[in-house]
Amino acid sequence: MQNILVVLVFLVILFGGVYWYAGYSTRTGFAKDENQNFIPDAWEEKFSWFFSGKGIIMLLLGLAIGFTLAKVIG
């Protein structure tokens, strides 16, 4: 169970880093973002499902971490 927790925390850090870098690269002008949604246009074409489902992805990961913590601790 502890291995699953480590994997889930790693996924949250990885996905959070990708979301943060998308915003950072558009704010600094490194990547082009014509519609001002803080997602680079090149990424938006290929991975639109990943950015449109950001809220649900992070919610599910948070619930999974909470459930796993409850199992490990309790």
DSSP annotation string for 38-55: SS-HHHHHH-HHHHHTHH
pLDDT at 1: 83
Q: How is 1-63 classified by DSSP, letter by letter?
A: -HHHHHHHHHHHHHHHHHHHHHHHHHHTTSS--TT-SSS-HHHHHH-HHHHHTHHHHHHHHHH
Q: What is the mean pLDDT of residues 2-26?
A: 95
Is 16's pLDDT higher than 90? yes
Q: What percent of the chain has pLDDT over 70?
A: 100
Note the pLDDT tens digit of each residue in 38-58. Answer: 999 999 899 999 999 999 999
Is 5's pLDDT higher than 90? yes
User: For residue 50, how many other CB atoms are within 10 A of its CB?
Assistant: 16
